[in-house]
Amino acid sequence: IMGDGDYLMGLTALWTAASARVPLPVVVANNNSFFNDELHQERVAKVRGRPVENRWIGQRIADPDPDLALLARGQGLEGIGPVEKPEALAEALAEAVAMVKQGKPCVVDVRVAPGYPPAMASAITRSQGQD
């Protein structure tokens, strides 16, 4: 499981999985953002005494939304999604598991809510020593 920002930054590495025929399942938690960087921008703004409302500038991945499943197919992997409704997730994951069992790497694009829950954002900040 990886975020959409990490997926886009490392997409070419997945070509290696396709080239070597590694049966790899990849689930992309797609919140349309480089959200770790949004948190970093917020911390920097606080340290500098600036408003945090603009933390998202340059960090949102939208307009246009990249077609993550199509990008996977372009690298030679199977691509599923975007999965936008929770009730469709089980079927998409079952399809991905079936592809992996056939020896194919597969990416599933799953839309998730923007941001992180407050507890997770707080834990990330604490783990980086920046309360």
pLDDT digits over 73-106, tens only?
999 999 999 999 999 999 999 999 999 999 999 9
pTM for the model stands at: 0.75
Query: To the nearest whole number, what is the mean pLDDT of the chain?
Result: 82
User: Rounded CA gap, 122 and 11, in Å?
Assistant: 28
* List of domains in the chain: 2-127 (3.40.50.970)
Burial of 78 (0-12, 13-18, 19+ CB in 10 A): buried
Largest Cα span, the chain: 54
pLDDT band at residue 49 using 50, 70 and 90 as cut-offs: confident
